[in-house]
Amino acid sequence: MHNSRISILLKTILFTICLLLFSCGDESTSPGEGYEVIPAQSPQPSGERLFGIGITESEDGFASSWGTAMQVGTEIVELNIPWDSIEVSEGVYQDPMGGVFEAIGFFGYNDIEVMLSLAVVNTVHSTVPDYLQNSDWDSPEMIEAFNNLVDWVLSEIPSNVTIISISIGNETDLYLSDDAWEDYIQFVAATSDYIRLSYPGIVLGVKNTVTNGVLGGDLSHVQQVNQYTDVVMLTYYPQSSTFQVLDPEIVHSHLLQIVSSFPGREIWLNEVGYQSGSEHCGSTQTKQAQFYHEFFTAWDTNRQNIKLVLIDWLHDISSEQLAEMEEYYGVSDPGFLEYLATLGLLYHDGTAKYAWLQLLEETQARGW
């Protein structure tokens, strides 16, 4: 199935304006009527766990969206950047999207740590530069080129910004064929060795999906590639192949299955989302809110193994952004589009869905 992420434009649009924004406001989030917030169930202190939310903008812009995200104790953000948007020709690099790396100094000033996803594979596409298109994943030229990319990117990060992790690819299981996995695993082994030696302290992983990479047919491949990572990075959107949401309570068995699939490993859920769309996805505002209640309860149960969660995403996206994503993925299925359009915890105009009210309850009860 196609689990979707914010396209690179959506993921980074806020950063291109951050240099102008060193103060933030509080967005109006009118309480939803007709929903009674579920009290947090035996909440466990946040402790050393890390929590964040993907900050999509409302129609009021970034400043108010930033203020809203801070209400739930956001500690981390993620940048997902395709390789070929940085290395535009062999050995020639640019700060992508009008200056992403320069702009993230904003996060350093606000004590927010940054996860980097260098999308060698970005869900349904390879993003290696053109001159490498005919190179095998495990070829010396591919490995050296990626290592050079990492060197350049990290040299451009502002000194006040903490890069806590690098993911070598974004949802690679959705793209790689069975025949390509072994070469990609060797690519990860070689590049992760280089990064560890050159940049000790940066946590390394490879983002794969829960639906396909753990619960589906690629589990063995995902287990193999994670022999060379520091943490297991996963994205989690509990839905069927037709984008119908699964029962919120299924999160308990899913998290247990994730933990049992990677015994003794630290697990990061780099993306967690649950849409509210009802016409094609079989969800409601209430189901979405119930999911987040069940999710935090299940996370508490598995807190010794699951150390990081980033929820996608803050606001529903605009119709223009949805059209961009439809073009990127090349999928016009109404269920897929409704899934993308309704992942937000708040509507695009900034008013709260029930899920936002529930998230406030869950995070505050745990001390975020």
In terms of DSSP bridges, do strands 267-272 and 306-311 run parallel, antiparallel, or are they unpaired? parallel
Q: Are 80 and 117 in contact (CB under 8 A)?
A: yes
* pLDDT tens sequence across 177-201: 999 999 999 999 999 999 999 999 9
Within 8 A by CB and 6+ apart from 87, the residues are 93, 129, 145, 149, 152
Q: Which long-range contacts (C-beta less than 8 Å, at least 24 apart) are formed by 240-247?
A: 240/1, 241/1, 242/335, 243/1, 243/275, 243/280, 243/281, 243/333, 243/335, 243/336, 243/338, 243/339, 244/281, 244/282, 244/335, 245/274, 245/275, 245/281, 245/282, 245/283, 245/287, 245/291
| d(C-alpha 110, C-alpha 123), whole Å | 30
Question: According to the model, what pLDDT value does residue 62 have?
Answer: 86
- Taking each continuous run of H as one helix and of E as one strand, the counts in the chain are 13, 12
- pTM assigned to the model: 0.92
Q: Which residues does residue 311 pair with via DSSP β-bridges, in sequence order?
A: 53, 272
* pLDDT tens sequence across 101-129: 999 999 999 999 999 999 999 999 999 99
Question: According to the model, what pLDDT value does residue 121 have?
Answer: 96
| d(C-alpha 2, C-alpha 242), whole Å | 9
* pLDDT tens sequence across 320-341: 999 999 998 888 899 999 999 9
356 or 32, higher pLDDT: 356
Instruction: Give how far Cα 13 sits from Cα of 28, 320, 339, Å.
Output: 22, 13, 21
Average pLDDT of span 285-310: 98
CATH tag, 8-366: 3.20.20.80
- Give the residue extent of every domain in the chain: 8-366
Within 8 A by CB and 6+ apart from 205, the residues are 165, 166, 167, 168, 226, 229, 230, 231, 232, 233, 268
Dihedral of the alpha carbons of 306, 308, 312, 314, in degrees to the nearest 10: 130
Within 8 A by CB and 6+ apart from 65, the residues are 14, 27, 55, 56, 57, 58, 314, 315, 350
